[in-house]
Amino acid sequence: MQLTGKSMKLFVPSPGHINSLKELLTEKDKIYSIFMAGSPDYIGTGRSNLASPQLEDIAAQTEYAHKRGVKMEMVLNSSCMGGRQLTPEGFRINHWYIEQLANMGVDSIVVADPYLVETIARDFDDVMVVVSVLAFVDSPQKAEMFVDLGADSIVIDSNVNRHFDVLHAIRDSVDCELKLLVNEGCLYRCPFRYAHFNFFSHAFGPEPRPNVLDDYYYFKCLELRIDDPQQIIKSPWIRPEDLKLYRDITDVYKIGGRTHFVDWILNCVNAYYGESYDGNLMDLLDCPKELKDLFYIPNKSLDGVLAKQWMNCKKVCIKCGYCKAFTKKVTQVYSGGGTELAALTSLDTFTEKS
């Protein structure tokens, strides 16, 4: 029998307030570390947040987690700080904030800016410096440079989650901890990635914050998938069942989803800890969450696909067509939600995109 969850280190998102943490830690035996954002008044994050815990809240939550044997990681992974981090005042404020986090016993801090990697590694011995997925480490060369700056851990760019040659090359090149973000549903090689994370960094960072009515990138991201659902299949998520294929690269996995309900997060924790999920793949994907009410993709229908197809995929979609055909075969569409006519229909019902 295969060992599941024994050596695995699961990093689990928290929406950011103590009540969420208490609920999450009802499953503490499956959780290695919680991660959450801090106050946007200091260093923002590259994703949206539901809470902005102040220092005393973070201290209380860190203590609560530690008492239950779970580590606390703070995410300060703004992908754009507008250069403020390089000004004397910006440096002083950021440094003071990180010092407070270190003093209260936070175990690790995730940053995207190489300057912050070097600063934290140099000045704070007791805190692990984690390179964010938003630093886009997708090659052994980039990984080596971050290690040289002082990184203790790197979350590998999820775009290469299915590029096993690259993953092995990174593993062979650095000795630091490597983490894989397993359930990000972002588009493979998303053209909006940098612009969207930069937007979030300002919207969920210090003042002034942009007053945006509509998040163009989010709308466009959804539109692309509705128009062409194979984009969901091509996204570089990793199924719980497929973690075993990554074990020679790492046993440290990060579950995305700090804007979700705790129940949703725990469903992911149980799926990844148990390395199995019998349900809709869309239930596990962090984003875009609205599409779980549109598409049903039986997770178990993907058994064996990674090993058989994607591990050796050349990513020349126009010459291959596997994902397109597979999407057509397994994807169903919800209709009539909340009425007696609620049903699942085949994707074939709709006009095929030329």
Residue 228 C-beta: closest distance to other proteins, Å = 9
Residue 336 C-beta: closest distance to other proteins, Å = 4
- Checking DSSP bridges between strand 9-13 and strand 33-37, what pairing results, if any? parallel
The answer to whether 337 contacts other proteins (rule: CB under 8 A) is yes
Exactly one of 22, 54, 96, 216 binds other proteins (CB under 8 A); which one?
216
Report the run of H or E that residue 154 belongs to, with start and end. Answer: strand 153-155
Most distant CA atoms of the chain, gap in Å: 63
Which range binds other proteins by CB under 8 A, 24-32, 72-80, 315-323, 338-346? 338-346
The site map against other proteins for 255-294 (x = CB under 8 A) is -----------------------------------xx-xx
CA dihedral 307, 311, 314, 319 (to 10 degrees): 20
Exactly one of 214, 263, 278, 319 binds other proteins (CB under 8 A); which one?
214
How many residues line the site for other proteins (CB under 8 A)? 26
The answer to whether 342 contacts other proteins (rule: CB under 8 A) is yes
Exactly one of 50, 55, 104, 222 binds other proteins (CB under 8 A); which one?
222
Q: 83 vs 112, 135, 201, 249, 350, CA distance in Å?
A: 14, 16, 12, 35, 48
Distance (Å, whole) CA 115 – CA 133: 16
Query: How far is Cα of residue 141 from the mean position of the Cα atoms in its chain?
Result: 22
The answer to whether 226 contacts other proteins (rule: CB under 8 A) is yes
Sign of CA dihedral 63, 64, 70, 72: negative
Positions in the binding site for other proteins (CB under 8 A):
213-214, 216, 219-220, 222-223, 226-227, 229, 290-291, 293-295, 333, 335-339, 341-342, 347, 350-351
